[in-house]
Amino acid sequence: MSRAVPLSLRSGLVLLVASSAGLMMLVWPLLVRQSSGGQVGPPFVFLALLPVVIVVVLAEVSEGGLDPRVLAVLGVLSAVIAVMRGLSPGTGGVELVFFLLILAGRVFGPGFGFVLGCTSLFASALLTGGVGPWLPYQMLCSAWVGMGAGLLPRRVTGRREIVMLAAYGVVAAYAFGLLLNLSSWPFVLGVAVPGHTGLAFVPGDPASENLHRFLIYTVITSTGSFDTGRAITNAVAIVVLGPAVLTTLRRASRRVVIVGSVGPVGPAEKPLSPPGAPPSVSATDETHDGEEAAMSTPPTGLRDDAPVRTSLPGEAG
C-alpha cells in the first residue's frame, strides 16, 4: 500500500540523524565525565535545539508536498488524539493516546506516524495546558512510537496483525515511560524511596552504576504503575477496537493516497521563438502542412484523369 507521507532516501537519512541526535539529548548525562560531587544542570541548549530538530524533520518529511486530503486526515487524527488525552489524563496509566497513534502509523506509514506523533502531542499540550520543557521530549518520543508502528512488517495481516500491534503497544508503552524518565532523572535531586537509597544521578560515577540506579528508579516509580497501566490500555484498546479502526483508516487511506503520475495528454507545446527571429517550422508543422496539402489536392481519377471525347467529322456538334 502506498504511504500518505512517502519518505525519500534523503528524508530517511534526515530522520535517522535527527533520531540519533534526540537519543543523544536523552542519554548525554550518562556519557559526560563530571567531577565527583558536582552537579549537572538542565540542558537548556538541548531544550532550544530539540524543537528546531523536530521542525527540520517535519519540513524534510513533507518536502514533496502533502495532499490536502492527507492534511485533513492528519488534522482530524491530531484533534481526536488531543481530545482523547484530555478525557484520559493518565490516571493510573490509563491513556487512550497511543493506540490510535499506533494504528494510524501502521496504515499510513512511518512518515505519517512521525508527523502525527509530533502534531498530536503538541495539540494535546495546548488543550490540556501541558506546555513546558518536557514537551519536546514527549513530542519526539511519541513521533518514534508512530514511526515504529509504520516500520512493522507489512506482510502480517488478520489476527496476527492485531497480536503484533498489541505486543508493539506494550513495548512502546514501557519504552515511552523509560525515555521520559531518562529526560528528567539526572536533574532530580534527593530521590528518596522507602527501602531504597542512592537512586539519584551521581556525576562522576561510571555510566554503568548510574544506569543501574536509573533502572531501579524507573522500575519503582513508573514501570510497575503508570507504564504498566499504559501498556494494558494499549493492548486492550488495540485488541477490542483495532480491527474496526484499521478498516476505517484503510478505507480513508484509499481516498487520500494518490498513486501514479499525471502527464500531458496532448502533444507537447512548442517553445516560443525569441523576438525578431524568423518563424521556424517543426516536424509537427511539416506534418500538418503535408496533411493540409494532401487534403487540398483533387482526388486522382475524377477530373484531371478523365477521358476527353473528341468530335469526328460528320457527327452532330
The full set of domain ranges for the chain reads: 9-256
Question: Per-residue pLDDT for 251 more than 80?
Answer: yes
Mean pLDDT of all residues in 299-312: 48
Q: So what's the pLDDT on residue 185? A: 79
Quote the CA–CA distance of 295 and 299 in Å, as a whole number.
Answer: 9
Given this model, what pLDDT does residue 231 score?
92
pLDDT tens digits, 56-80: 666 655 665 566 777 888 889 999 9
Q: What's the grid cell of residue 156?
A: 502480517
**Spatial separation of the C-alpha atoms in residues 204 and 312, rounded to whole Å:** 132
Rounded Cα distance, 18 and 136, in Å: 13
Split at pLDDT 50, 70, 90, the class of 306 is very low
Look at residue 205 and tell me whether its pLDDT is greater than 80. no
**What residue ranges in 143-254 does DSSP mark as E strands?**
none
% residues pLDDT > 70 (the chain): 62
Cα 63–64–65 angle (5° rounding)?
A: 90
What does the alpha-carbon distance between residue 270 and residue 177 come to, in Å, rounded to a whole number?
62
Q: How many CB atoms lie within 10 A of CB 50?
A: 23
Residue 134 DSSP class = T
pLDDT digits (tens, 9 = 90+) for 132-179: 778 888 888 999 999 999 999 989 989 999 999 999 999 999 999 999
Q: Please determine, for residue 287, whether its predicted confidence score (pLDDT) is greater than 60.
A: no
Q: What is the mean pLDDT of residues 176-204?
A: 72
pLDDT at site 278: 57
| pTM reported for the whole predicted model | 0.70
Q: Specify whether domain 9-256 bears CATH 3.40.50.300.
A: no
**Angstrom distance (rounded) from CA 95 to CA 85:** 7
Residue 72 CB: number of other CB atoms within 10 A? 13
More confident residue, 144 or 44: 144
Phi and psi at residue 93, to the nearest 5°: 85, 5
Does the structure show a pLDDT above 90 at 182?
no
Give the mean model confidence (pLDDT) for residues 220-239. 89
Measured distance CA(55)–CA(74) in Å, rounded: 16
Categorize the per-residue pLDDT at 218 as very low, low, confident or very high, splitting at 50, 70 and 90.
confident
- Output 249 or 187, whichever has higher pLDDT: 249
Q: What are phi and psi of 213, to 5 degrees?
A: -65, -40
Give the pLDDT of residue 301: 46
Cα of 186 vs its chain's centroid, Å: 31
Task: Say if residue 315's pLDDT is above 70.
Answer: no
